[in-house]
Chain A
């Protein structure tokens, strides 16, 4: 049975949505009407522009409420998150590696390109971890190498080959003008050119990254905001075992 869901204000299916945006026009009655029409042109009904203010001579800020028309069948929605299902704890991951892999798993992590944000990759890699979740360095059965930030893809690839990494962890925080896409793509191309792509479990992470985008760009998985080391470790060790089976 289809279960159609719509936005909820104070009555089921009222479709109420709040919006705020700006237009490159001077504030005034004409601007407000333009704002209302533009919202309705997006498929909303009963738009009310509840606030408008000039931001400069020729830009105006608006707040509007309107009723969304569309709904979707919730049953048909497939979540796109690497963290679906239960993750193992640190100890469970270590036990899993001992039993199923029988040697230490080597992981290399870096924040690549010009990106200088280290806090995200550190949250996953460093001993201390993040929000009471220890990082991979703390795992008895993981050999973790954190190369830090502003690491070139070339260096990451060479280093990973040198330490015979099982998994490469890439962090991308700056996404303005899609720099992360170019940079992440370059890494995949580099690995492919060297015939090394299949050697590694390739993991991407960062606050504006989705699993879907990572997979599209040729990674095995992508982790978004609020990820923890044990979730990443769970995913990686399972994949290593699956890869071995497939061989």
Chain B
């Protein structure tokens, strides 16, 4: 898209430099540590699955035992591969025995070379499946090229019951949705395990499980075939099991993942160290799987004012971008988030929204920006709500956003009914068809409100990033600089699950991921440093 705001290049570069400096110490820490869920994700990619009678997943059984005996610092796959060799079984059989009580950390370690070969073969098999899924997606996208909407229309289903979700998703796709997101049930983000199997009970959403992923992907493949349009599936690689969900998504060909580098810290009170390690590993998986991540900047505006705190959104976009590139994601995979959350009583609020969206587009030209609809100021007045969504649809198309989460007229009332989605798609299609070429037709008054506002927000963002750089990211988070919440570095959930890697630490999945992504071991930082333009 043409540059219309005249934003100073050197200031944008300056912001990227600051983001690099701010995240450097984080990546240093990440390199030296693993977590219980990184190990479980590794096991999952190596084929470990299933659950015991109480529903405790086998990857948890393995990791809990190794953690209790202080062996996790060497990497869980070491023990899993060893057990496979000793017991001479395939993963399925071994998993069943572990579920029945076998403690693989108690088995003596055999020949290291044989273990190494076994582990590498397991890693390869898992990552081959991930690569095959990616190839399938690419082939389907190619086959139905040009059939999706631009921006992609993104709809949420959230009944709590995967089979009911399937019906809703089918209807949404047939109405014109390009992306279906299955919202997770309330509080899944705070579970330190991923439930097993198909589920029919959830509150405000549906459990993310590998089986639920599979069921929905199969249903959407069917609809895609019927509609001649690839329907993408989205879930949440977030919370205490962020990398495991990424692994499951990669194995079941999900196409997008909500995956923010700081959301868990700020909005779920998950420990900062834990989050940074987990986000890095999950993002490597997403990168290899060809998954597009969606970051969570919209959340800043649900608790803070969109005019006053616009700079926190842009600052977070720069940080998310940097950490994503460092994990091997390419700009086309980085769906940076933002949201239409101005107070509707504000005079010229629409112009401020326009400025923010256009600015994001110009600063991140290759990124499929994920634009979120009005939520906070939606009310029981559904007619007014529909009008707000209409303006949102307008801004999104006129500024060339990539992923458009459809606003619901009943946002303030309930999770969407089928007819709410129907109305939303109709509205978006009407607006977007009618202004299809609008973006090519307009330019902005150089002295005008929109241009001024964009420059102002960029400058304020730089000042903010400078402050964060001076303080350090951990202290900035602890002092409440982001989203007005204070999170001390050693507080929050999941702190206990961080493990310092020993000199012997071995993780062939990680090595293989890094090799595929062109990331050098011990230096996640430099890679992709040229990206983002």
Contact = CB atoms under 8 A, between A and B. Distances in A.
B47 interface: no
B302 A114 contact: no
Contacts of A174: 186, 203-204
Contact of B175 (A20, A55, A150): A55
A117 to B, nearest CB: 9
A174 B414 CA distance: 9
Contacts of A56: 170-171, 174-175, 418
A21 B414 CA distance: 15
Interface in B177-208: 186-187, 190, 203-204
Given A22-B419, A55-B419, A114-B187, A176 B160 contact: yes
A176 B204 contact: yes
Given A53-B422, A61-B422, A179-B203, A118 B175 contact: no
B419 A21 contact: yes
B7 interface: no
Contacts of A150: 187, 190
Interface in B397-419: 412-415, 417-419
A225 interface: yes
Interface string A1-41: 00000000000000000001110000000000000000000
B188 to A, nearest CB: 9
A177 interface: yes
B380 interface: yes
Contact of A55 (B186, B203, B412, B418): B418
Contact of A115 (B186, B190, B415, B426): B186
B468 to A, nearest CB: 23
B153 to A, nearest CB: 15
Interface string B368-403: 000000001000100000000000000000000000
Interface residues of A, number: 22
Main secondary structure of the interface of B (DSSP, over half): helix
Nearest to B267: A116
A177 B303 contact: no
A177 B422 CA distance: 23
B158 to A, nearest CB: 8
- Counting chain B CB atoms within 10 Å of each CB, the highest count among A21, A118, A176 belongs to A176
**Chain B interface category by residue count:** 20 to 34
A57 interface: yes
A225 B187 contact: no
Interface in B108-163: 160
Main secondary structure of the interface of A (DSSP, over half): mixed
Contacts of B160: 176-177
Contacts of B413: 208
A176 B187 contact: no
A218 interface: no
B419 A61 contact: yes
Contacts of A225: 380
B418 A59 contact: yes
B300 to A, nearest CB: 13
Contacts of A21: 419
A207 B412 contact: yes
A118 B299 CA distance: 13
Contacts of B204: 174, 176, 179
A122 B171 CA distance: 38
Nearest to A207: B412
Given A55-B175, A177-B160, A114 B422 contact: no
Contacts of A217: none
A20 B423 CA distance: 11
B418 A119 contact: no
B83 to A, nearest CB: 36
A155 to B, nearest CB: 14
Contacts of B170: 56
Contact of B203 (A22, A61, A119, A177): A177
Nearest to A62: B419
A21 B417 CA distance: 10
A231 to B, nearest CB: 19
Contacts of B426: 53
A116 B423 CA distance: 29
- Counting chain A CB atoms within 10 Å of each CB, the highest count among B160, B302, B303, B418 belongs to B418
Contacts of B421: 55
Interface in B199-251: 203-204
- Counting chain A CB atoms within 10 Å of each CB, the highest count among B204, B268, B412, B423 belongs to B204
A174 B186 CA distance: 9
B304 to A, nearest CB: 10
Nearest to B269: A150
A103 to B, nearest CB: 31
Contact of B171 (A20, A59, A118): A59
Contact of B303 (A20, A57, A118): A118
A119 B302 contact: yes
Contacts of B174: 55-57
A102 B60 CA distance: 56
Contact of A114 (B186, B267, B415): B186
Interface in A107-140: 114-116, 118-119
B419 A20 contact: yes
Contacts of B268: 116
A116 B493 CA distance: 15
Interface in B259-282: 267-268
Interface in A167-185: 174, 176-177, 179
A59 B174 CA distance: 11
B415 to A, nearest CB: 6
Interface of B: 160, 170-171, 174-175, 186-187, 190, 203-204, 267-268, 302-303, 376, 380, 412-415, 417-419, 421-423, 426
Interface of A: 20-22, 53, 55-57, 59, 61, 114-116, 118-119, 150, 174, 176-177, 179, 207-208, 225
23 contacts: A20-B419, A22-B422, A53-B426, A55-B171, A55-B174, A56-B174, A56-B175, A56-B418, A61-B418, A61-B419, A114-B186, A114-B187, A114-B203, A115-B186, A118-B303, A119-B302, A119-B303, A150-B187, A150-B190, A174-B204, A176-B203, A177-B160, A179-B203
Nearest 6 CB-CB pairings of A with B:
A56-B171, A114-B187, A114-B186, A55-B422, A22-B419, A56-B174
Given A21-B419, A225-B380, 15 more contacts: A22-B417, A53-B422, A53-B426, A55-B171, A55-B421, A56-B170, A56-B175, A59-B171, A61-B418, A114-B187, A116-B268, A174-B203, A176-B415, A179-B203, A179-B204
